[in-house]
Amino acid sequence: MSVRYLRLGNTISLIAGVLILLVLLGIMIHGIQAVFYLWVLVVMWMLWVMGIAAYVSYVLAALKIRQLMKYAGVLALIVTLMGLILLTEHKMLGAELIVLGYFLEPIAGVSLYLRLLDFNKPAAHVFFWGAVIFTVGLPLILIKNTYISLIGDLIKTIGLIILILKD
């Protein structure tokens, strides 16, 4: 049963990865002010809701060091929610809070990473380190460099595709 939740969380995360690529491309094309565009805000709110679904799925899965996912994950959701509210009010502080919230995700993701190693080590490495690269690149988006996050998200997405297909 817990493998089913793991698979569901990975599927949600894969869809989120594709949506994140869309947002990053929008920012790459239109600049950081794209975070205030209606379509970007709608996608970001969708991502947040999907984040709740992925979080619940992963918490229900048999993860190693489950407390990391449980506590860092919920904190990431709270911080990004505050950021989204501020972005919706057209305040740039919202983007900075979202970046901060995303920095909690690799911490939460350690528990997922350790579990995924049991299924497919190469794909787990690709997924986790892609997520780390994505996260490390996020602050650079605020100064007009989306490339590192874009590459990290692509790597992470490839890792998820491999994990799902090999499942």
Return the percentage of the chain with pLDDT > 90, whole number: 89
Quick one: pLDDT band at residue 144, thresholds 50, 70, 90?
Answer: confident
Other residues' Cβ atoms within 10 Å of the Cβ of residue 12: 20
pLDDT digits (tens, 9 = 90+) for 122-131: 999 999 999 9
Burial readout 139-161 (b: 16 or more C-beta within 10 A, e: otherwise): bebeeeebebbbebbbbbbbbbb
Chain-centroid distance, C-alpha 38: 20
Q: How many CA atoms lie within 13 A of 75 on its CB side?
A: 14
pTM of the model: 0.92
143 has pLDDT over 90:
no
Average pLDDT of the segment spanning 11-38: 96
pLDDT digits (tens, 9 = 90+) for 26-78: 999 999 999 999 999 999 999 999 999 999 999 999 898 889 999 999 999 99
